[in-house]
Structure 1
Amino acid sequence: MHNFPLPMRTTHVGYVHGQRNAQGEYHPGVDLNYGAPQEDKGRLIIAPTELEIIHVDRQPYYGRTVVGVNHDLDLAFRFMHLDKILVEQGQWVDPETYLARCGDDDGSADHRYHRGMTAHLHYDVMRPSVLKQRGMNVMTWRASVTRRDVFDDVYVNPAELHGALRTLLATPRPEIPKTKNGQRVDYLR
């Protein structure tokens, strides 16, 4: 078990690793800062460990995205819904290097994918070697997984890597914010 710094300072957590959404998909990783005030948009996001930045792009559902790989650990770290990206593809970064700023980008021009989404960091960790064995890669892998065996094979629970996250998850969490019509925010399709 590792004890990397969290990529973002927060006391708010939304969806957690393994939680199912309304479509029965398992949520990979954790949503940091979800439910915090919108004023937190722009909060700095850091690299939890040494990374090679292998992907910097804007994707449907996820918006501005950074993917970094620690080859020694065989772990790929994905940072999504970013407001501003501060690194470039091909760059190597040290732990705690600024990667981006927290945002609410869902990859669409009009937020049609995730209406009501607040600024937060979707952060997940994958095993690139497992994806490669399955004929997939970290840039094209879509997070919607309904089979638990595939989910557990591909993803690593970030709480296994961050002591601060384990502590945060052990404390009672406020309810996920609701939209104007009283429905839970469901931003994974």
Structure 2
Amino acid sequence: MIALTGTPGTGKTTVAAELNRLGYVTVSVDGLIEELGIRRSRRTEGEAIEVDTADLREKALKHWKGFEGGTVVVTGHLSHFAGATGSVVLRCHPQVLEKRLSRRGWDREKILENVRAEVMDVVLIEAVESTGWVQEIDNTHLEPSGTAAVVSGIIKGEKNNYPVKSRWAGELEKWF
């Protein structure tokens, strides 16, 4: 099982749809959280829902045990906590990410929180700590079909020069 993860707005859902068209089985981590009855909480209305990631990992590992249906790609910004053997982390330049999140109608505080998470490699670090291997893809300038082709190559073990090593340290001052 592979996690397709990244900061919200990096293209996970769109790339998952392309992977489906290529014949891959994709599962939304949100659906998995619901199906497995993972503990969730929200302090106040409008605040992000917090998920017990240890509970997610434990229940997901039991859920996937013995599964022999080929590679499953679990998608979502928490998918790397769902018992994946490896993670593909989608990355996006902070300025482009800001525009994508603005188009969703998100409030400024929520946009800044997510752009700052991208600048500081939050999801990348979580994935490194949670799964056996990690591959980054900077899809800032890739079409979803191109990103899906890269993900497919990674799953197949192809050795190529993927658009990787996204470091936004030069962007820190702009976002803090």
Q: TM-score range by the shorter chain?
A: under 0.3
- Structure with more of its chain in helix, by fraction: 2
The structure with higher relative contact order (CA 8 Å, sep 6+) is: 2
TM-score (norm 2): 0.28
- Structure with more of its chain in strand, by fraction: 1
TM-score (norm 1): 0.26
